[in-house]
Amino acid sequence: MKPYQKIPIQDCGDPLVAIPEQHFAFEIPHPYQKLGAPYKEVSPYMLRQGVLEALKQAQKQLQIKQPGWRIKIFDAYRPVAVQQFMVDYTFQTLRQQLPHEPEEAIAQQVAQFWAQPSENPETPPPHSTGAAIDIALVNEQGETLDLGSEIDELSSRSYPDFYQAATGHWEQLYQQRRALLKAVMVEAGFRQHPQEWWHFSCGDQMWAWLKRQEVPQEVMAYYGRVSEN
C-alpha cells in the first residue's frame, strides 16, 4: 500500500463527462487503446465534472502565460481493467528488455510508476477515479513540445525536477516547460505526482495526501473509483 491510499474517500458523486475537443489537444490515436487496452465502449478522454472545470481554468492560465499554447491530453479516465492491462504490458515489456533481471526487481520498477489495479474501493488507482490526468504541452503551431522524457518513461528523467539544476540549453528549456505546466495546473487546484511530470490530480487520494503535506488539516479525498457497472 502506498501512503496516499490510506486517505479516506467521501465521493461527492460528480459524473464522468467528456473532455471537450475545442479546448484542448489530444493524443490520437489514444496510446493505450492502440495497444489493445480493454476500454470497451468507454472513452479514455473523460474526467469528473469538477476536475474538467479545473482543467479548463488551467488552460485559461496557460493562454495568459503562453498565448496559443494548449494542454495536450495523453490519458484521463482509466477503468481498473485497463490499469491491469497496462501494468501487465509494462512488466512484459521490461522483462523482454531486461532478460537477466529478476522478476521481483522488474515488478518494483513497474510499481514505482504504475498504481496497482486494485478492486478495493478504498484503494482505487488514481486514474480509475476520473480525477487524474496525464498531459503535455502543444505550441501555437500544434507541435507537441519536448519536456525531457516520454510520458510513462520508467526513469528518473520523469521526476518533475530532474532538470532543475541543469546548465545545458535544452535541459533548462525542459525544466522551464515543466515548471510552466505545473504552475498553471496548481493554480487551477491540481497537484502533481512526485515522480511524474505529466501526472496531475484533483480531489483523489493522491491529491489529498499532497495537500495534507501543505496544510495542517485532515484533507479528505472526494473522488473514489468510478462505478463500472
Query: Measured on CA atoms in the order 113, 144, 39, 76, is the torsion positive or negative?
Result: positive
What is the rounded CA–CA span in Å between residue 210 and residue 220? 11
Residue 196 is a catalytic residue: yes
Helix/strand/coil for 97: helix
Catalytic hit among 41, 101, 196, 228: 196
- 17 pairs with which residues across the strands? 47
For 69-103, letters b (16+ CB in 10 Å) and e give bbbbbbbbbbbbbbbbbbbebbbeebeeeeeeeee
> How far is it, in rounded angstroms, from Cα 63 to Cα 84?
36
Query: Across-strand partners of 133?
Result: 200
Q: Which residues are catalytic?
A: 196
